[in-house]
């Protein structure tokens, strides 16, 4: 249920994080040298690392740490009959209005009664605009070669339900999970990577006996909320919000969103939907293939119901960055620090020789190579040590390992903690177990 906590909105935070993302190489406007393309982004070296960590954190919780979920990796382009049966061709639409004055186009449900661009009230009636990207498969452009870029990964799991059931000998309750790119021709993308036309989805379809779906829906709401706090978002910046009836997607009998308090207010991070047997039934009818599960114990066949937690990886990455951004003062100097969970930070460890002198190089490289087997590491030997710490703080690196001239004598190094800035001296031999012990494994 919505919490009563309503923190103040914070546009300064949004600007600080967007700025940091560009300056340090998390996210770039796509094809910037050509002027970009509206609301499309490329993930730079740090962004690519962090996005991979978000995916892995999800994979860990949804697949690795469970014994009732299996993964698949389905095609992005598929038979268009999938989208006909699923209802996406007919109903995956947003209401579109044109401004007759300035010709801008808007989502009717996102504006009041005037054009946000020019203020004119001369708007067309709202009409449904299908969000799927259409393309053609093969060299001939015609009705018979039409295909669509997937707007959700979910259908790949429904059409493979039978394959997974027979090859893995699973029985409900069990899940199929998948992550990957999805494409929606959004009318008004925006708010940085919050809403883009190409984004990354992380979805679980959890198949259950029909009578059990309310219980599993509650279970997945609790699990998914806990995942965001586990990875560092304060619980007062998160809430569960059940959808009103008129908000529900065409396939859903009930959806609850996990919401995050973005700098502009509460916004959706993830939707947990009770899709009933809508999709399996639709594909069964359309394909003529039975998708029922035969329950041997009960001696009866049924179409499982589906509970679906569907999260955006790119949107989650943005939320983790916003939640982690902080500014404080160390030794009278202001610093920007990303207090990211160690598993989400682009680099887990920075290896910093105190000096560029040749004598430190072999030991520093040796320490780097030891750590690289376990962690994503950055090696930096330029500028003063203080400035190098600041650089690592700003990109969220939780630990810096410094090699100094004494290290050559005593085979010990200094580990500095990003959040407390505390420094601990310890033997190189103990470095890997010490750092591994600080991670949530």
Residues within the interface to ligand GAP (CB under 6 A): 152, 154, 184, 186, 195-196, 199, 201, 203, 268-271, 308, 310-312, 314-315
φ/ψ (deg, to 5) at 301: -105, 145
Instruction: Find the shortest distance in angstroms from Cβ 338 to ligand GAP.
Output: 21
Q: How far is CA 399 from the centre of its chain?
A: 24
Q: Which H or E element spans position 182?
A: strand 174-183
Alpha helices in 288-341 (DSSP H): 313-324
Name the residue nearer to ligand GAP (CB basis): 41 or 174.
41
Name the residue nearer to ligand GAP (CB basis): 99 or 193.
193
Cβ 431 vs Cβ 425: under 8 Å: no
Name the residue nearer to ligand GAP (CB basis): 52 or 241.
241
Instruction: Find the shortest distance in angstroms from Cβ 308 to ligand GAP.
Output: 6
DSSP assignment, residue 348? S
Name the residue nearer to ligand GAP (CB basis): 152 or 380.
152
DSSP, collapsed to helix, strand or coil, labels residue 24 as helix
Q: Could you tell me which of 281, 374, 314, 326 has the C-alpha nearest to residue 85?
A: 281
The residue of the chain with the least Cβ separation from ligand GAP equals 312
DSSP 206-236: EEE-GGGHHHHHHHHHHHHHHHHHHTT--GG
Name the residue nearer to ligand GAP (CB basis): 172 or 312.
312
Mode of pairing for the β-strands spanning 105-107 and 238-242: unpaired
Instruction: Find the shortest distance in angstroms from Cβ 134 to ligand GAP.
Output: 17
Mode of pairing for the β-strands spanning 254-262 and 349-353: unpaired
Instruction: Find the shortest distance in angstroms from Cβ 149 to ligand GAP.
Output: 13
Which class for 22: exposed (0-12), middle (13-18), buried (19 or more C-beta within 10 A)?
Answer: middle
Name the residue nearer to ligand GAP (CB basis): 310 or 368.
310
Instruction: Find the shortest distance in angstroms from Cβ 225 to ligand GAP.
Output: 13
Instruction: Find the shortest distance in angstroms from Cβ 350 to ligand GAP.
Output: 31
């Amino acid at each position: 249920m919505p919490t009563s906590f309503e923190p103040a909105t914070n546009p300064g935070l949004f600007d600080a994080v967007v700025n940091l993302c560009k300056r340090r190489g998390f996210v770039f406007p796509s094809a910037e040298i050509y002027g970009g393309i509206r609301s499309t982004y490329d993930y730079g070296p740090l962004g690519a690392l962090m996005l991979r960590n978000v995916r892995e954190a999800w994979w860990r919780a949804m697949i690795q740490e469970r014994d009732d979920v299996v993964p698949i990796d389905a095609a992005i382009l598929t038979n268009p009959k999938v989208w006909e049966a699923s209802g996406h061709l007919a109903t995956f639409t947003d209401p579109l209005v044109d401004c007759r004055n300035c010709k801008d186009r808007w989502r009717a449900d996102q504006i009041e009664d005037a054009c946000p661009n020019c203020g004119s009230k001369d708007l067309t009636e709202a009409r449904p605009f299908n969000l799927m990207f259409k393309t053609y498969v093969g060299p001939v452009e015609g009705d018979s070669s039409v295909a669509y870029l997937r707007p959700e990964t979910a259908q790949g799991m429904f059409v493979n339900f039978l394959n997974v059931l027979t090859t893995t000998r699973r029985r409900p309750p069990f899940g199929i999970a998948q992550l990957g790119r999805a494409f929606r021709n959004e009318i008004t993308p925006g708010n940085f990577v919050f809403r883009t036309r190409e984004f990354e989805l992380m979805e679980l379809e959890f198949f259950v006996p029909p009578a059990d779906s309310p219980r599993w829906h509650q279970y997945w709401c609790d699990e998914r909320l806990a995942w965001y706090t586990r990875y560092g978002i304060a619980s007062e910046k998160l809430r569960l919000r059940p959808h009103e009836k008129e908000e529900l997607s065409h396939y859903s009998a009930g959806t609850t969103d996990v919401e995050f308090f973005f700098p502009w207010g509460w916004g959706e991070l993830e939707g947990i939907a009770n899709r009933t047997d809508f999709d399996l039934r639709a594909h069964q009818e359309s394909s003529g293939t039975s998708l029922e599960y035969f329950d041997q114990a009960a001696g009866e066949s049924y179409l499982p119901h589906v509970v679906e937690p569907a999260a955006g990886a790119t949107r989650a990455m943005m939320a983790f960055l916003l939640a982690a951004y902080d500014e404080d003062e160390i030794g009278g100097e202001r610093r920007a620090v990303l207090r990211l969970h160690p598993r989400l930070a682009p680099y887990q460890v920075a290896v910093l020789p105190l000096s560029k002198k040749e004598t430190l190089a072999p030991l520093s490289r040796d320490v780097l190579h030891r750590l690289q087997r376990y962690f994503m590491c950055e090696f930096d030997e330029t500028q003063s040590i203080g400035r190098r710490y600041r650089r690592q703080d700003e990109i969220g690196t939780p630990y810096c390992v410094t090699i100094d001239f004494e290290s050559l004598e005593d085979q010990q190094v200094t580990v500095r903690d990003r959040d407390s800035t505390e420094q601990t001296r310890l033997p190189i031999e103990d470095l890997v177990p010490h750092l591994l012990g600080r991670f949530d494994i």
